Amino acid sequence: MVSFLARRLITFIPTLIGVLLITYLIAYAIPADPVRAWVGEKLMNPQTLEQIRIKYKFNAPWYEQFVFLVQQLLTGQLEDPVRHRNVFTEITSRFGVTVEVAIVGFLFLIAIGIPLGLLAAVFKDTHVDFAVRIMALVGSSLPAFVLYYFLILLLFVYTKTTYLAGIPEPTIACRTTVSILPQRVPVLGHLASALGNVPMFAAMMCGEFSVVADTFKRLYLPGLALGLLNGGFIARIVRNSLLDALSAEFILYGKARGLRRLSVWKHALKNAMVPVVTVLGLNFGGLLSGAIIAETVFNIPGIGRYMYEAIMRLNFPVIIACTFLVAVIYITVNLVVDILYAVIDPRIRY
């Protein structure tokens, strides 16, 4: 297990460098002048442009620029040239929001996908099964933005059960408490403070549960949308892998031995988990990387929108930092899924 982890961690390094290099080369190949796009009309004069060029080493050859950017990225000094703030401060606050959306969306995904999948497996080849099949088909064939529009129409315009501006935040007193935690509690404090970057978690730690409720009220619409789009697909996976497991020989053996129905199901469910966990894990990873279209339509200031805006303004430092983050998430999620395999299925050993 340890050597497996070490090997995987070593292969991370070339992948991450490759991702950074490609991002940079794409950015470098853009024919437009990024500095002009950053500055805007008001401050546009030769001295300012020259100052920014020197600050970001635009006059140096490309590999020097690249090394400079990577250095700043790894030491955490990278600055957002449009907002004049540290990229990491921006990313932490926006990533917190994306994590909230991902959690709410994931809850809906599980709540819709798994029960439907179990139902479809139990009532195999009936109307229920057929309905789940149709739902999976429509979910994978419907353009996401059209569904978003109609959910907004239904739940925001007509029934007014949610709102589409801002993200609920805990009180300032609570934020301060969470931010000074590392000084009070040695190790756990750092962890708690890192988790506190997600507004919902910070509110939970301070006991401000009205903020948590508000967060769900604000975000249940995008969550429901994401759950509806992928829920049918998850249900299909649950159904198929459960049916596969139920038709395996050890189940027949169990039944022949006279096991109770409940424990037969327990064995089948455990064996059906492996593919389900993979798909759910990858889905969560996808949600964490920011659902760009959902964030745009539902007006959520998350990491996806930040990336999109950065690309539109040729904001390379931000693009590089965000791509790095998304790549790290992708690799980590894959690793976690691989480890979960071994946890669920004792036959798999690394």
Partner 1 sequence: MEFVYKALKKVIWFYAGIREKLSRGWITKNSSRIREWELMAYAYSKSPIGVIGGIIVFIVFILAVIGPIISWEPYWEYKIVINESYRYMPPCLTPSCSGNPLLGTDEWGRDVLAMSLYGMRISFVISIVVVLLGAPLGIVLGLLAGFKGGIVDEILMRVTDIFLAFPGLVLAIAFASVLPQRLRGVLEANSVLRSFFASLFGLREAEYGQIAALLSIWFAMVIVWWPGYARIVRGSALSVKEMPFIEAAKLSGLSTWSILFRHLLPNVISPILVMMTFDIATATLFAAALSFLGLGPQEPVPELGFMISKAGQFFPERSSHVVVYLGSLLLFIAIGWNLLGDALRDILDPRTRRAIEYRFEKEEKKRG
Residues making contact with partner 1 (CB under 8 A): 11, 14-16, 18-19, 22-23, 26-27, 29-32, 137-138, 140-146, 149-150, 153, 157, 289-290, 292-293, 296, 307-308, 311-312, 314, 319, 322-323, 326-327, 330-331
CA distances from 101 to 83, 164, 220, 281 (A): 24, 13, 8, 15
C-alpha Rg value of the chain to the nearest Å = 24
Smallest separation, CB 21 to partner 1 (Å) = 9
Least Å distance, CB 312 to partner 1, is 7
Q: What is the C-alpha to C-alpha distance for residues 220 and 213, in angstroms, rounded to an integer? A: 10
Of 199 and 304, the one with the shorter C-beta distance to partner 1 is: 304
DSSP string, 155-175: IIIIS-----S------HHHH
Paired tokens of 127:
């109307």
Residue closer to partner 1 by CB (options 144, 192) is: 144
Instruction: Choose between 151 and 203: whose C-beta lies nearer to partner 1.
Output: 151
CB of 40: closest distance to partner 1 in angstroms? Answer: 18
Q: Is 54 exposed, middle or buried (0-12, 13-18, 19+ CB in 10 A)?
A: exposed
Residue 311 CB, nearest approach to partner 1 (Å): 5
Under 8 Å between Cβ of 236 and 136: yes
Extract the tokens encoding 269. Answer: 């469910």
Nearer to partner 1, 27 or 212 (CB): 27
Of the two residues 31 and 46, which places its CB atom closer to partner 1 in the complex? 31
Query: What minimum distance in Å lies between the beta carbon of 336 and partner 1?
Result: 14
**Least distance from C-beta 2 to partner 1, angstroms?**
22
The residue among 24 and 201 lying less far from partner 1, judged by its C-beta, is: 24
Q: How far is the CB of 226 from partner 1 (least distance, A)?
A: 14
Q: 79: helix, coil or strand?
A: strand
Q: Which residues does residue 86 pair with via DSSP β-bridges, in sequence order?
A: 79
Number of other CB atoms surrounding residue 212 within 10 Å: 19
Query: Quick check: 87 and 310 in contact, CB under 8 A?
Result: no
Complex with partner 1: residue 37 or 195, whichever CB lies closer: 37
Q: Answer for the pair 230, 113: CB distance below 8 angstroms, yes or no.
A: yes
Helices 127-141 & 209-246 angle (0-180, nearest 10)? 120
